Amino acid sequence: MRYIIFLILLLLNAIRAAKCHSDLAWTRGSIKNRSSRDVSCKEGLEYEHSNICCLNCPAGTYVKKACLTALEKGVCEPCEFDKYTEHDNGLRKCLSCTKCRIDQETTEKCTSTQDTQCKCKEGSFCLPDQACEVCKKCKRCTKDEDTVKSCTSVSNTVCTKRSSSNGSNSVTFIVVVSFFAMLAFVVGIVYWTKSKPCKKAVTSRSPREMVKICMGDSEKVKEERQNAHNSKMDDSSPLQPFLEQNYAERESIRRLVPLNGEESLKKSFGFFEEMDVHYHNRFFRFIGLSDNSIKSAESLFPEDRVYELLKIWMEKEGLKADFNSLIEALIYLDQKLSAENIISKAISNRYFKYEDE
């Protein structure tokens, strides 16, 4: 009986000792955790290591080895190639440089203190307040819309519908032009029916000598008509000053030469969007394109249509394709402002230069 009581007392003492040891371990752990939580390092200036605050490494480096004494720097190592840190830091390794996607272009290369800077390629955009997972294609305004703001790498094209007043003015203009065209047609038919028919006509290519000569008349009559026509052209024709001015302007054009051969000519095609859309057909007929070629591009947007037809012209002309011919065609069609703007863009983009420079 005494032996049993002795064992019970011994067991109780063992349990009490184990409990005391457990309480002591918990107390020590609590103290250690509390001391760790009590460490407060200054954000942006220090980082915590083994319950002490070490000073940050400068931008372009990382912490290779932490400090052993509080408020001191550890060993800072410069970032390797294609790695960076933008700010003072306590990082154990540098960050990897960003790679621009295939639909982006690099604006600034990665350095040890700055990540790669990317932007969407021309003709596409990404809104800055949204995650740019893929660049979106810029919107194109339709024929009944005006462009308020052009597309950039961070904003889409802004279009607005044309007002109804503009539409009504356009309809009125078309009606008036149609009426006068019909009137001129009727007057022409009446005049033609009353005139003496000619057996054969000869037309000179010179604008000063564009006179119709009836081959059935006698030589004396033809000579008198020619003299009368030349007299009118020299003295009283209102068309003569315009023709002389037009030829003078064409002769005074400074010729341009490409800086990169055929590539310069092809890259300049986009500038001809400047041309008034109402002159498109006349312009392309003037430079030698057939009606079938012109009609084949009618379904395209005006800017795409101009580009495609100029490509057809370039293939047709081959080695004779010349930027100066296109400019002379615009000036001949009284589109001098468009011609000047296109020349300015071609020179500023370093596609062409003046031959005499």
Which of 117, 138, 170 is the endpoint of a domain?
Answer: 117
Which domain range does residue 338 map to?
Answer: 248-354
More confident call, 174 vs 215: 174
**Which pLDDT does position 87 carry in this prediction?**
94
**Which pLDDT does position 18 carry in this prediction?**
63
Please report which confidence band the pLDDT of residue 252 belongs to, taking 50, 70 and 90 as the band edges: low
**Which pLDDT does position 92 carry in this prediction?**
94
Buried b (16+ CB within 10 A) or exposed e, 236-247: eeeeeeeeeebe
Lowest mean pLDDT among 102-111, 125-134, 151-160: 125-134
Res. 239: pLDDT tops 50: no
Inside any domain, residue 21: no
Q: What is the average pLDDT value for the chain, to the nearest integer?
A: 79
More confident call, 145 vs 202: 145
- Asked if residue 52 and residue 90 are part of one domain, the reply reads yes
Count structural domains, the chain. Answer: 4
Inside any domain, residue 100: yes
More confident call, 305 vs 54: 54
- Asked if residue 326 and residue 232 are part of one domain, the reply reads no
Res. 279: pLDDT tops 70: yes
- Asked if residue 252 and residue 233 are part of one domain, the reply reads no
**Which pLDDT does position 76 carry in this prediction?**
96
pLDDT digits 0-9 by tens, 316-342: 999 889 999 999 999 999 999 999 999
Cα distance between residue 170 and residue 174, in whole Å:
6
- Asked if residue 220 and residue 142 are part of one domain, the reply reads no
Q: State the pTM of this model.
A: 0.36
- Asked if residue 349 and residue 259 are part of one domain, the reply reads yes
Tell me the backbone φ, ψ of residue 194, rounded to 5 degrees: -85, -20
Inside any domain, residue 279: yes
**Residue among 286, 332, 331, 334 nearest 310 (CA):** 286
Task: Please answer whether residues 80 and 72 qualify as being in contact, where contact means their C-beta atoms are separated by less than 8 angstroms.
Answer: no
Res. 71: pLDDT tops 80: yes
Tell me the percentage of the chain whose pLDDT exceeds 90: 44
Task: Report the Cα–Cα distance between both ends of the chain, in Å, rounded.
Answer: 126
Tell me the percentage of the chain whose pLDDT exceeds 70: 74
Residues with Cβ within 8 Å of residue 346, at least 6 apart in sequence: 256, 264, 268, 271, 323, 352
Lowest mean pLDDT among 205-219, 239-253, 324-338: 205-219
Res. 55: pLDDT tops 50: yes
Which of 117, 143, 172 is the endpoint of a domain?
Answer: 117
Q: For the domain that residue 287 is a member of, what is the CATH number?
A: 1.10.533.10
- Asked if residue 73 and residue 128 are part of one domain, the reply reads no
pLDDT digits 0-9 by tens, 186-204: 888 888 876 654 444 333 3
**Which pLDDT does position 173 carry in this prediction?**
83
Average pLDDT of span 29-50: 71
- Asked if residue 257 and residue 349 are part of one domain, the reply reads yes
**Which pLDDT does position 309 carry in this prediction?**
92
Res. 74: pLDDT tops 80: yes
Tell me the backbone φ, ψ of residue 336, rounded to 5 degrees: -65, -40
Res. 63: pLDDT tops 60: yes
Select, from the ranges 16-25, 247-256, 319-328, the one with the highest average predicted confidence (pLDDT).
319-328
**Which pLDDT does position 289 carry in this prediction?**
92
DSSP string, 187-230: HHHHHHHHSPP-S-----SSGGG-----TTS-HHHHHHHHHHHH
